[in-house]
Structure 1
Amino acid sequence: MEIKGQLISSQRYLNEYVVLDKVKRFKVFIVDILHVTLRGKQYTLLVNGHHNFAAAKRLGIKPQYRTPKKLLKAFNSWSQSERETFIINNLTDSHLYDVNTGEVVQELMEPDFNNMSFQRNLTNGLKLYQ
């Protein structure tokens, strides 16, 4: 699986100890991604494996990208508009930013208010990684 468009994320926090531990012990680095279209532009969202990504980058190794089936099933059950609402409105500790440059993706900073009933229902029990 390859990156399409900018690689983006809303998680900036990295525990340096965890990254260094992975650098020392791991040979394969798995990173979960999702190909998405947001406001008409193609992106790849880094959804899980931020520490693996950082460790692989330090070693100059290309991580193995995958999309978890459960996550893909959930996203495929939503409309394009609902996907945008979910990704743009549900941030971790940062606005969506380009993982390679660290710069915030300006066109994704404004919240998406198009599907607020979907957003309310979704956040009342979404469990994509359990």
Structure 2
Amino acid sequence: MPYPTVRTGKIVFERHKGGVNKESATIKFDNKIISAATFIQGVDVKFVEEDGRKKERPFHRLHYKIAKTEISSSEGGGGWVPDKLSREVTVTAELGLRDASLDWDDYYEGTIYVAVLALEHPTRDGYE
């Protein structure tokens, strides 16, 4: 019988300007995954100078979301065929930050902290 497991991770967004940034992270599980869902646990974001030092200024618009949760790895795609199941979940998220000018002309960086709830197959190889 499949069972649920939660793993946590983070998606790091390096210094960026010019719009919303998209990054991914891979979360690994002990057994092969049948299905998965991702939840945001928290967001840490700040404006930075061109040299990476923190830049003090008020936020005006903060954009963050989970764009995609995908069961995938070098073992093949997800699905219900046991030999095609994977032990890895790739989470893709978006992060964007603007000040009151409403332009994307300031550098920002941040981290989105996530929890992945996965339904794991009860055996390591995916077969009963």
* TM-score, normalising length: structure 1: 0.23
* TM-score, normalising length: structure 2: 0.24
Q: Which has the higher contact order (CA 8 A, sep 6+)?
A: 2
- Higher share in strand: 2
- Higher share in helix: 1
Larger radius of gyration between Structure 1 and Structure 2: 2
